């Protein structure tokens, strides 16, 4: 694998390898693009089978963050970090502190947060070594706390915008919404949907989580594999990625797919296939940006009102993306990418113009 070839292919700015022998730290930080601002993205700890797998993952995830921040209208670029190791076995305070030290050497070009395999407590430890971390204990000051309710709120706005577009109504009353995964986001989303009068069909591999949704919201529970076939208006994936794939594509009986899960489409071509089938897909990174909006606000002195306003903008962004997809006859995920690329390009032109005005030294 040629790393420079991969970086050039995706237009990556920087890839940083960090190791510390005594603690066993092996981390890779990828900075994709800082045109709009410093690169914000979580630190994932995962027992990658190879270094190559870790590099591929960190590059893919960092690029995704650039697009997500741009579409959410945040003054941030995209980055991500991975620590190679099993969080249950290899994660120690010392390892996290050395990792925090490496983050600090980047002087704010990369700002970290929690991700799969890391949690708020880990961010508190990293914070001892660097100021360039978000999602720390809100009691320690400045933090916005659990991002999941904000993610769920953004998904609700995205569902409402797509329902408005598809059915011409503002209300979700009596619409049937199938929610896959009743975890941190899914449960909050179910509560909001039930509050709006929607009828819920739910699935989860965790029987307790499922029963909670049945008991609290009168949801109808179905087996995990049956959720794709559920007759519904909206299918909201809030569990796993790649749920729109060759196996599930023909099973969907919904008219809209809009949920919190990352990487919903197994491959790009599945987005085109949904469009051909007349299913409106709301791109994952557009609709699930509420959590990012919440942690990003910590960088400017956390203000709940500002977060709520930014999350609410997801409604109009979704309408804009659907309008572009219709006008250009392209899939919605391509329309979302175009919006992100346009915002980055505009900012880049502005920066280059500003640079030309700086007199040369010497």
Burial class of residue 102, CB neighbours in 10 A (0-12, 13-18, 19+)? buried
Out of 105, 171, 206, 303, point to the residue binding ligand NAD (CB under 6 A): 206
How far apart are CB 316 and ligand NAD at their closest, in Å? 20
Cα–Cα distances (Å) from 186 to 92, 214, 233, in that order, read 30, 13, 17
When the beta carbons of 146 and 341 are compared against ligand NAD, the nearer one is 146
* Marked catalytic residue, from 26, 80, 91, 160: 80
When the beta carbons of 120 and 262 are compared against ligand NAD, the nearer one is 262
Q: How far apart are CA 308 and CA 154, in angstroms?
A: 9
Neighbour-count burial for 229-245, b at 16+ CB within 10 Å, e otherwise: ebebbbbbbbbeeebbe
When the beta carbons of 13 and 317 are compared against ligand NAD, the nearer one is 317
Out of 112, 130, 148, 331, point to the residue binding ligand NAD (CB under 6 A): 148
Burial class of residue 20, CB neighbours in 10 A (0-12, 13-18, 19+)? middle
Task: Tell me, residue by residue from 289 to 318, as one string, x for binding to ligand NAD by CB under 6 A and - for no binding.
Answer: --x---------------------------
Q: Evaluate the CA torsion angle 32, 34, 36, 40 in order and state its sign.
A: positive
Helix, strand or coil, per DSSP, at residue 111 = strand
Out of 31, 65, 76, 203, point to the residue binding ligand NAD (CB under 6 A): 203
Out of 64, 79, 100, 147, point to the residue binding ligand NAD (CB under 6 A): 147
* Cα angle for residues 335, 267, 175 (degrees, 5° grid): 65
Q: Which stretch binds ligand NAD (CB under 6 A): 9-17, 98-106, 201-209, 314-322?
A: 201-209
Q: H-helix or E-strand containing 213?
A: helix 207-217
How far apart are CB 61 and ligand NAD at their closest, in Å? 11
Q: How far apart are CA 262 and CA 277, in angstroms?
A: 22
Q: Which stretch binds ligand NAD (CB under 6 A): 54-62, 202-210, 332-340, 353-361?
A: 202-210
When the beta carbons of 5 and 208 are compared against ligand NAD, the nearer one is 208
Q: Which stretch binds ligand NAD (CB under 6 A): 96-104, 106-114, 143-151, 351-359?
A: 143-151
How far apart are CB 98 and ligand NAD at their closest, in Å? 27
Count of residues engaged in binding ligand NAD, rule: CB under 6 A: 24
Q: Which residue is nearest to ligand NAD (CB)?
A: 183
Asked if residue 25 lies in contact with residue 95, where contact means CB atoms within 8 angstroms, the answer is yes
Out of 288, 317, 325, 332, point to the residue binding ligand NAD (CB under 6 A): 288
Contacts (Cβ under 8 Å, ≥6 apart) of 360: none
Task: Tell me, residue by residue from 232 to 271, as one string, x for binding to ligand NAD by CB under 6 A and - for no binding.
Answer: ------xxx-------------------xxx---------
Q: What residues numbered 156-185 form the site for ligand NAD, per CB under 6 A?
A: 180-185
Any catalytic annotation for residue 80? yes
Asked if residue 66 lies in contact with residue 96, where contact means CB atoms within 8 angstroms, the answer is no
By CB under 6 A, is residue 134 in contact with ligand NAD? no
Q: How far apart are CA 43 and CA 246, in angstroms?
A: 31
Contacts (Cβ under 8 Å, ≥6 apart) of 322: 161, 162, 165, 280, 332, 335
DSSP 8-state class, residue 359: P
Out of 3, 131, 205, 226, point to the residue binding ligand NAD (CB under 6 A): 205
Asked if residue 290 lies in contact with residue 310, where contact means CB atoms within 8 angstroms, the answer is no
How far apart are CB 259 and ligand NAD at their closest, in Å? 8
Q: Using CB under 6 A as the criterion, which residues of the chain lie in contact with ligand NAD when the complex forms?
A: 147-148, 151, 180-186, 203-206, 209, 224, 238-240, 260-262, 288, 291
- Active-site residue set: 80
């Amino acid at each position: 694998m040629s790393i420079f070839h991969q970086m050039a292919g995706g237009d990556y700015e920087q890839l940083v390898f960090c190791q510390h022998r005594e603690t066993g730290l092996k981390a890779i930080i990828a900075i994709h693009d800082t045109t709009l601002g410093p690169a914000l993205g979580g630190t994932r700890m995962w027992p990658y089978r190879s270094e190559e797998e870790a590099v591929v993952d960190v590059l893919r995830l960092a690029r995704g963050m650039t697009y997500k921040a741009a579409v959410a209208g945040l003054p941030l670029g995209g980055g991500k970090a991975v620590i190679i190791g099993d969080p249950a076995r290899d994660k120690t305070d010392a390892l996290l502190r050395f990792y925090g030290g490496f983050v600090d050497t980047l002087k704010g070009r990369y700002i970290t947060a929690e991700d799969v395999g890391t949690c708020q407590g880990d961010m508190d430890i990293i914070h001892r070594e660097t100021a360039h971390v978000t999602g720390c204990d809100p009691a320690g000051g400045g933090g916005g706390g659990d991002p999941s309710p904000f993610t769920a709120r953004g998904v609700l706005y995205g569902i409402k915008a797509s329902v408005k577009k598809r059915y011409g109504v503002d209300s979700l009353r009596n619409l049937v919404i199938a929610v896959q995964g009743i975890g941190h986001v899914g449960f909050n989303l179910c509560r909001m949907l039930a509050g709006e009068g929607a009828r819920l069909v739910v699935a989860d591999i965790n029987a307790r989580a499922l029963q909670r949704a049945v008991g609290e919201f009168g949801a109808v529970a179905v087996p995990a594999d049956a959720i794709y076939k559920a007759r519904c208006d909206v299918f909201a994936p809030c569990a796993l990625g790649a749920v729109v794939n060759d196996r599930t594509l023909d099973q969907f009986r919904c008219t809209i797919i809009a949920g919190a899960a990352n990487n919903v489409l197994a491959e790009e071509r599945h987005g085109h296939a949904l469009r051909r089938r007349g299913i409106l897909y709301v791109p994952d990174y557009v609709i699930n940006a509420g959590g990012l909006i919440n942690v990003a606000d910590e960088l400017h002195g956390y203000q709940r009102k500002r977060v709520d306003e930014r999350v609410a903008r997801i409604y109009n962004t979704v309408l804009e993306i659907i309008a572009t997809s219709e006008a250009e006859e392209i899939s919605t995920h391509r329309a979302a990418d175009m919006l992100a690329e346009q915002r980055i390009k505009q900012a880049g032109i502005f920066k280059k113009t500003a640079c030309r005005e700086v007199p040369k030294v010497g």
